[in-house]
Structure 1
Amino acid sequence: MAIERKPIRRGGIRTAGYDRSARVLEIEFDNGNVTQYSGVGEEIARRFLASSSPGSYFKDNIDEEFSARRVK
């Protein structure tokens, strides 16, 4: 599954993208790791992608709330 990611470049996050039909949020971190989080609702993904503080939003709402699979 190829998810188109957009630049974030804040809070330790380089890029991120969301696949609405699969409910998967894909995040590329500054260290080069790419992780997919499954079961993420559209509203949470939208708020994360629009956040002025994506690192904090990620830690508070995504990091330990959804199952993660490292893809790179």
Structure 2
Amino acid sequence: MEGGVPHLRSSAISRVEYNPSARILSIWFVDSGGPYDYHGVPAHIYEGLLSASSAGSYFNDFIRDQYSVG
């Protein structure tokens, strides 16, 4: 995201960053830290995470176990 790091209202996720050219979503978790880099994530999944009413639930439903972590 241009112009800074987006703010999430989440008790589970403290920070996210997205690299659209590499399609890498980096997530920092409140409990386990990070970053955890999820590879091959399309932009619409990142946008969905930002706009979700619960970022933690969105992560569990659409990101966790869906993309490789490295």
TM-score (norm 2): 0.83
Instruction: Specify the alignment match of 1:45 in structure 2.
Output: 46
Percent identity between the aligned chains?
36
Unaligned runs of 5+ in 2: none
Q: When you count strand as a share of all residues, which structure comes out higher?
A: 1
Deviation by residue 1:10-46 (Cα, 9 ceiling, x = unmatched): 1410010111100010101002221010000011111
RMSD of equivalent CA atoms: 1.5
1:1-72 residue pairs with structure 2 within 5 A?
5-31=5-31, 32-69=33-70
> Structure 2: how far apart are the matches of 1:13 and 1:58?
9
TM-score (norm 1): 0.81
3-state SS in 1 of match to 2:27:
strand
> Structure 1: how far apart are the matches of 2:17 and 2:67?
15
Unaligned runs of 5+ in 1: none
Paired residue total? 66
**1:23–1:41 contact (8 Å) kept in structure 2:** yes
**1:9–1:15 contact (8 Å) kept in structure 2:** no
